[in-house]
Amino acid sequence: MIITIVAGARPNFMKIAPIIHAIQKAQDKKRNISYRLVHTGQHYDKNMSDTFFEELNIPRPDVNLGVGSGSQAEQTAGIMIAFEKELLRNPTDLVIVVGDVTSTMACSIVAKKLNIKVAHIEAGIRSWDLTMPEEINRMVTDVLADYYFTTSEIANINLKNIGVKSDRIFFVGNVMIDTLLANMKRLKKPEIFDSLGLEEKKYLMLTLHRPANVDESEKLKALMSEIVNNVRGLPIIFPIHPRTAKIFSELGIQANNLHIVAPMGYLEFNYMVKHCKAVITDSGGITEETTVMGIPCITLRDNTERPETCVIGTNELVGNTPKVIKPILNKLFSGNWKKGNIPELWDGKTSERIIDILLGLQL
């Protein structure tokens, strides 16, 4: 069986790593499986891409389509044109796409139009918010895919509701958590930890990159000011995404307790999360990692495609208006944050389950 694995943007890399490692294990056992890794080039900076390959032991991609940035349509079109050529040059039995980035959707469309089977890993999750490009990417990918690997029972239900047959849905757990658990002992203290004199549980981590939070400068300014003023003087470490950095430099936000740093590598970022008091974020993936690490997480969004992080885990959705910040931080400092549990099958063995299932399919 020949598989083409697609990765395009930062949150894809930690999801493909354990899948590739599980394929390598199957190859060691002489199973008939090989893969070709295609990087679309959606993310291209060293600290948004290369670092993850090095740290997570992901082999160099067989090809980088070098698509780069652009509007949603430009990026989608660029990926589709380049990926079609790639698939015609290198025939494959199955395309694996992960998550919900533009590369996920664009490559699914191309594969299906060439009559190639598609497996979607992290299928079926829904925010029902069509202002998010990721939601459209999820919906399109899930209409087209042949095999669906899911992280939760809710995802299974969402898929059944759009007519996906039960025998195509495989509830296997969470590949991102495979990576987290495999690397827990390798997490690396970044230099800033000591240079800023940080102490365990006495600083917060902040990440913001969604258009809804960062594309309007006045709103971002108001959010930031509420955050820095309500953390009781604790340091806030803010690894800044390129999208946010572009706008941030014009805002002139400065505070003694706000430390803006470049995007961090996987091992350093998760070290910082593991030891912090809480995370404030608009990411989806980070809410899964904080759930597994038992770290309080405040999500500045109105909705989430990962409700289990709130119902079972340590995440709380608070919306993204500046007025919500003070009350939620008061709650955090009152010491009554929920402890949370780990969702079913988020046990570090998801990728092995996926490869076992794929090997049993008649492709």
Q: Does residue 178 interact with ligand UD1 by CB under 6 A?
A: no
Helix/strand number for the chain, H first, E second:
16, 13
Q: Does residue 122 interact with ligand UD1 by CB under 6 A?
A: no
Q: 201 vs 246, which CB is nearer to ligand UD1?
A: 246
Give the residue numbers marked as catalytic: 209
Q: Does residue 133 interact with ligand UD1 by CB under 6 A?
A: yes
How is residue 107 written in tokens? Answer: 């490559």
Member of 55, 86, 122, 134 binding ligand UD1 (CB under 6 A): 134
CA gap 9, 95 in Å, rounded: 17
Member of 25, 34, 45, 201 binding ligand UD1 (CB under 6 A): 45
**Cα separations (Å) of 198 from 107, 140, 152, 295, 329?**
43, 44, 36, 17, 19
Member of 3, 6, 11, 135 binding ligand UD1 (CB under 6 A): 11
Q: Contact region for ligand UD1 (CB under 6 A) — 38-46, 160-168, 200-208, 355-363?
A: 38-46
Q: Which residues contact 33 (CB under 8 A, 6 or more apart)?
A: 1, 3, 23, 26, 27, 355, 358, 359
Member of 242, 257, 341, 342 binding ligand UD1 (CB under 6 A): 242
Footprint (CB under 6 A) of ligand UD1, residues 263-322: none
Member of 2, 24, 31, 44 binding ligand UD1 (CB under 6 A): 44
Q: Where are the alpha helices (DSSP H) in the chain?
A: 10-28, 50-55, 72-89, 102-113, 133-144, 153-161, 175-183, 191-195, 211-214, 217-229, 242-248, 266-275, 285-293, 308-311, 325-333, 350-359
Shortest CB 198 distance to ligand UD1, Å: 24
What residues make contact with ligand UD1 under the rule CB under 6 A? 9-11, 42-45, 48, 69, 100-102, 133-134, 209, 241-243
